[in-house]
Amino acid sequence: MLKLQNLNKEFKNFKLKNISFNLEPGYIMGFIGPNGAGKTTTIKLIMNLIKMDSGSIEIFGLDNKKFERKVKERIGFVYDESYFYEDLTIKQMKNIVAPFYSKWDEKVFKEYIKKFSLDENSKIKTLSKGMKMKFSLSLALSHNADLIIMDEPTSGLDPVFRREILDILYDVIQDENKSIFFSTHITTDLEKIADYITFINDGEIVFTKPKDEILETYRIIKGGKEILNSNNRIKFIGVRETTVGFEALTDNEDFIKKLSKDKILVEKPSLEDIMFYTVRR
Ligand SMILES: Nc1ncnc2c1ncn2[C@@H]1O[C@H](COP(=O)(O)OP(=O)(O)OP(=O)(O)O)[C@@H](O)[C@H]1O
C-alpha cells in the first residue's frame, strides 16, 4: 500500500533522516511523535505536496511522483487544516471536489452526510471544527479510496466525535484491501484501533512495529531511590525521578531480571509512556 525508503528532506532548522517504513493492505498504522518531529512533513512528502531531497515513495507499488494522478485517485486525504472555500456550502464544495474522482459515489457521500447530521446547504464557514472534520472525512471516504491518509484527524475533537470517527475508520478497514495511515498525538485512539505504530522523533524513526509487539516489549519499572545508581541508570531508555522514588522505561528483559524483584514494581506502559520516556530520555 505504502512504502517509504530512505526518505530525506532538509529545512533550515530541521532534517528528516532516512525515513523508511511499509504499510500492508488491511491495516491501520498510527504515526506518532512529539510536536515538530516531522509527521506533517512526511505526510506532505507522501502526498507530493513538497519535494523530497532523496529517497523513494511507492503507493500501490507506483512511484508517488511519476504516477501522481493515478495514485491520488485511490487516496482519501484528510488534512489537519481546512482547505475549503469558506463561503461555499457543503454541496457546492462537494461539487468542486467530486469530478476529480472517477469512482466518486454520490450515494455513499449522502449516507455519510446523513450519518454525521450535516446539512448540505450549510456554508463551510458556519461549521464547527468537528463538523468540518466530518465533512472532510465524508469527501475522503466517498470515492472508493484504497488508502486513507490523515494528518491529525481527531485533534481538537471531543471524545464523542473522536469515538464516532474511530468507529468509521474501523468499519473501513473491514475491507481487507484498504489501509489507513494517520498521524495523531492522541495515543489512546491508537491503542483502540491501530495495528501498527510508527514513532518518529526529531526527524528519525524510533520504531515501526505491530502495536501488540510494542506494548509487549517495553516495561515501566517503579522503585525506591536506593535502587537507582550510576550503573543501572544509563540502561534505562528514560527515567523520571520523584522525591520518593523513580519510574523508568526499559525494553531489556535481562536487565529487569537482574534488578531485585521484591523491591521493584514492573508494569506495562501505555503508548504515551513509551513516547514520553523515549523523547525525554
Ligand atoms: N516549509 C518549511 N520550511 C522550514 N521549516 C519547516 C517547513 N515545514 C516544516 N518545517 C519544520 O520542520 C519541523 C517538522 O515539522 P512538522 O510539521 O513536520 O512536525 P509535526 O511532527 O507534524 O509536528 P506537530 O505535531 O506539531 O504538527 C519543524 O521544526 C518545522 O518548523
**Average pLDDT, consecutive stretches of 10 residues, N- to C-terminus, the chain (281 residues):** 97 97 96 94 96 97 96 91 87 95 96 94 92 92 95 85 88 90 90 93 95 93 88 88 91 83 88 91 79
Cell numbers standing for residue 201: 522523533
Instruction: Output phi, psi for 181, to 5 deg.
Output: -125, 120
The Cα–Cα gap between 181 and 197 comes to: 10
Predicted local confidence at residue 231, as pLDDT: 84
Q: Closest residue (by CA) to atom 4 of ligand 1? A: 11
Three-state secondary structure call for residue 95 = helix
Nearest to 192 by CA among 216, 167, 220, 222: 167
Q: d(Cα 28, Cα 234) in Å, to the nearest integer?
A: 34
Nearest-CA residue for atom 24 of ligand 1: 35
Give the whole-angstrom CA distance, residue 181 versus residue 106: 24
Please enumerate in sequence order all residues whose Cβ is within 8 A of that of 123, keeping only pairs 6 or more positions apart, or say none.
86, 87, 88, 89
What pTM was estimated for this model as a whole?
0.91
Residue 234 has a pLDDT of 83
Provide residues with CB under 6 Å of ligand 1. Answer: 11-14, 33, 35-41
Determine the pLDDT at residue 30.
Answer: 96
Pick from 40, 49, 184 the residue to mutate for probing ligand 1's pocket: most ligand atoms within 8 Å of its CB. Answer: 40
Indicate the CATH number of 2-210 among 3.50.50.60, 3.90.79.10, 3.40.50.300, 3.40.50.80.
Answer: 3.40.50.300
Minimum CA distance residue for ligand 1 atom 30: 36
Best of 9, 31, 39 to mutate for ligand 1, by most ligand atoms within 8 A of CB? Answer: 39
